[in-house]
Chain A
């Protein structure tokens, strides 16, 4: 068991290494002078030289890479070109709305999607099943921002239930927080519901065909017990796996949703950075998002130990 956990931990390191290498290569492989790209069109030759120096562009490739990794490990993500502040400060200031939105979305999605998937699989082939399937295809197909604008036009402009935009931290009270996070959460959650409901349904269908389900029925257990105790427990591994993988999807969705609802989070920071070509910020956000993704998936790998005795005792 500890071997397994250690093995997962060690496996996460090369993954992060490759992420860093991608991000690094992206800038270095850019056609033209990276310094010019970073500095923008109006830079003077002296500014360019200064940037080249600070990026170490005059060093050999691998020296550059490892110096850069060294800086990252010390928490130095560079300086924003747009604001001149350290990137890490900018990110810290924008964390809360993003984390709030991601958490509310995941919680709401799981609460809705897992029962939907279970019912769809149990009532396989019926209208309920088809409805859940259709809902999940729609969830995959309609762009997040289209849903966002539909929500705004319905709930904010027509019904006036929620404010159109903005964010209040949870520290200001649960009421104002929920009132403003509600629409972005509903917007983002559809995609995630689609993902989780679908995987729940397919794994349930597969498991309901397994021999031990037949055994449970042969024991004369009520159907609710068969579904919950025997089928759903065995489904938990694929479900939490897809929650982990779907986290990358959530981050992409958060960027868009924040933009639609004008939430001052990391997504907005990124979009503003893109428009200003503030590459150090983009780079730091990618690294951070990937790190969170890797850590979450690592935690999920470790959670398998609790969920599956076959891993626990190997």
Chain B
């Protein structure tokens, strides 16, 4: 028992030391050597704060008011700042969510790793350098001599996270805390980083406290899982037990909300009315410049797709695949370089702003970020009726319709005279959907519309979209990076990479039996693809 790595008991963290505003409420957590403990929860569950408290890095406004965090027999909450500095990197290390911003942009990455040795070892400079290069090799970075001298902006996201891992593990700490380390990464990179963490844990025997919101990731990496909700532990179980036999309603709901990777059964085609159709759509950036010809970037190349009334077409791809560029071109928020965009049979690709205006009502969009998609200064009712007013609908009629729409998306009609900051993220996404519907569009473009939401809220919004689609016969163009979400709601799927369409076909075929290597790789990398979370069993055991 004495060799337990981490023993957190009855940890309470409060805002400004105030008993009544606790954000972590009596948390208990134990980690044995070599064990990977996943801390799972939605936003506001206090999972990151627990990690920061362990490292002694809590923001000033938050402070632990009770409990203990014992690392190898030593309480972190009573250790002196100097002792904490000694323990960091040597006994415990942490890697963070955003590899893009977690490294100092003006220092060479090799030196940033070496800095750890400088303060925590007596090695000579040449020995330090040798150790750093060894460690860079251990995290499988290519061309290490060159990378050693590189700056963070010259590295890819995955490479930066590997640098972070090298930095964290170079002193062989007993505990590695990983706070959503793969959330900001593309799915294929995520798979590689998860593999690396597993590999290093086995090599070094490091215990890992892995924080995530993603059940798929949990199923890939965890030995044991602790589920948190609003600062309280719901349950702690081995991963297999948790996924098969969740003990609390909360965990069960959480698992049920996880979109399955297996495409839903295809819907019958009721119509052949094409509401949106693009042909050889291209968007090129750069190339201008008076003196220096900027390098041309083909953000989208020869994208041809078509969407039927009442159907959902998904565009999936990793970052930089051009999927959002296509959406923005179709909305004419940016001007396509060439190709055609037919909405309801009319080509809008080259229309002037004036001629475009009457066509705008046929196609509407819902954006990713619920915090920014409504003007914070005007009442949501005003936001909803802005479009109808532009098209000559009388004000009181538009407002009546706005109230109806709010009820339709599950909000009270009285919400029309509230301001956006009075709503939660999921509620704002509902309002944004109501605003789009106020125009009675034929096509709704959803650009990562559920990506910023917690998984339970995400499931609700997806259900709402499906319901509205059935009711109004909407064609939905659904842009997402999440194959599970795509599998759950799409009839057809376009897979994009580097601005090009890689594969295009019915969802069951593209996601179920992919033909192209890239699609196969994407699907193989999706975390938790073997698990049917909603039915608490692996797919392999499905009856």
**Which positions in A face B, CB cutoff 8 Å?**
3, 6-7, 10, 210-212, 214-222, 225, 229-230, 233-234, 307-310, 313
A26 to B391, CA, bound (A): 49
**A313 and B153 contact, Cβ closer than 8 Å, known pairs A220-B116, A220-B120, A233-B107:** yes
**A220 and B106 contact, Cβ closer than 8 Å, known pairs A6-B291, A211-B101:** no
Q: List 14 A-B contacts (CB under 8 A).
A: A211-B96, A211-B98, A212-B105, A214-B96, A215-B96, A215-B102, A218-B94, A219-B115, A220-B119, A221-B115, A225-B115, A229-B115, A233-B107, A308-B106
State how many angstroms separate the Cβ of B185 from the closest Cβ of chain A: 15
Chain B, 81-125, CB within 8 A of any chain A CB: 84-90, 93-94, 96, 98, 101-107, 115-116, 119-120
Interface check B167, CB cutoff 8 A: yes
Look across to chain A and name the residue whose beta carbon is closest to the beta carbon of B170: A219
**A220 and B85 contact, Cβ closer than 8 Å, known pairs A230-B107, A310-B105:** yes
Number of A-B contacts (CB under 8 A): 80
**Which positions in B face A, CB cutoff 8 Å?**
55, 57, 84-90, 93-94, 96, 98, 101-107, 115-116, 119-120, 151, 153-154, 164, 167, 291-292
Tell me whether A218 and B151 are in contact (CB under 8 A): no
Look across to chain A and name the residue whose beta carbon is closest to the beta carbon of B99: A211
A221 to B96, CA, bound (A): 17
Residues of A within 8 A of B103 (CB): 212, 215
Tell me whether B55 and A218 are in contact (CB under 8 A): yes
Provide the main secondary structure of the chain A interface.
helix
**A3 and B292 contact, Cβ closer than 8 Å, known pairs A211-B101, A219-B167, A220-B119:** yes
**A217 and B116 contact, Cβ closer than 8 Å, known pairs A7-B291, A234-B104:** no
State how many angstroms separate the Cβ of A262 from the closest Cβ of chain B: 45
**A221 and B153 contact, Cβ closer than 8 Å, known pairs A6-B291, A234-B104:** no
Look across to chain B and name the residue whose beta carbon is closest to the beta carbon of A3: B292
Tell me whether A234 and B106 are in contact (CB under 8 A): yes
19 further A-B contacts with Cβ under 8 Å, apart from A7-B291, A216-B104, are A210-B101, A211-B102, A212-B105, A214-B96, A214-B102, A215-B104, A217-B88, A218-B55, A218-B88, A219-B115, A220-B86, A220-B90, A221-B85, A229-B107, A230-B107, A233-B106, A234-B106, A309-B151, A310-B153
Tell me whether B102 and A220 are in contact (CB under 8 A): no
Residues of A within 8 A of B55 (CB): 218
Taking a contact as CB atoms closer than 8 A, the residue among B96, B119, B291, B292 that contacts A219 in the complex is B119
Residues of A within 8 A of B164 (CB): 215
State how many angstroms separate the Cβ of A232 from the closest Cβ of chain B: 11
Residues of B within 8 A of A212 (CB): 101-105
A211 to B105, CA, bound (A): 11
Tell me whether B292 and A222 are in contact (CB under 8 A): no
A234 to B115, CA, bound (A): 17
Tell me whether A218 and B89 are in contact (CB under 8 A): yes
Tell me whether B116 and A219 are in contact (CB under 8 A): yes
Tell me whether A230 and B151 are in contact (CB under 8 A): no
Residues of A within 8 A of B98 (CB): 211
Residues of A within 8 A of B106 (CB): 233-234, 307-309
Residues of B within 8 A of A216 (CB): 104, 115
Taking a contact as CB atoms closer than 8 A, the residue among A7, A218, A221, A233 that contacts B57 in the complex is A218
Look across to chain A and name the residue whose beta carbon is closest to the beta carbon of B164: A215
Residues of A within 8 A of B116 (CB): 219-220
Taking a contact as CB atoms closer than 8 A, the residue among B85, B94, B104, B292 that contacts A7 in the complex is B292
A219 to B87, CA, bound (A): 9
A214 to B94, CA, bound (A): 10
Residues of A within 8 A of B101 (CB): 210-212
Most buried by B among A10, A219, A225: A219
Residues of A within 8 A of B167 (CB): 215, 219
State how many angstroms separate the Cβ of A27 from the closest Cβ of chain B: 32
Taking a contact as CB atoms closer than 8 A, the residue among A3, A218, A230, A313 that contacts B104 in the complex is A230
A190 to B263, CA, bound (A): 69
Residues of A within 8 A of B86 (CB): 220
State how many angstroms separate the Cβ of B240 from the closest Cβ of chain A: 32
A310 to B155, CA, bound (A): 12
Residues of A within 8 A of B57 (CB): 214, 217-218
The 9 A-B residue pairs with the shortest CB-CB distance in the complex, in nearest-first order? A220-B88, A211-B101, A309-B151, A212-B104, A220-B89, A220-B85, A211-B102, A218-B94, A215-B102
A211 to B95, CA, bound (A): 11
Residues of B within 8 A of A229 (CB): 107, 115
State how many angstroms separate the Cβ of A181 from the closest Cβ of chain B: 36
State how many angstroms separate the Cβ of B197 from the closest Cβ of chain A: 17
Residues of A within 8 A of B96 (CB): 211, 214-215
State how many angstroms separate the Cβ of A239 from the closest Cβ of chain B: 13
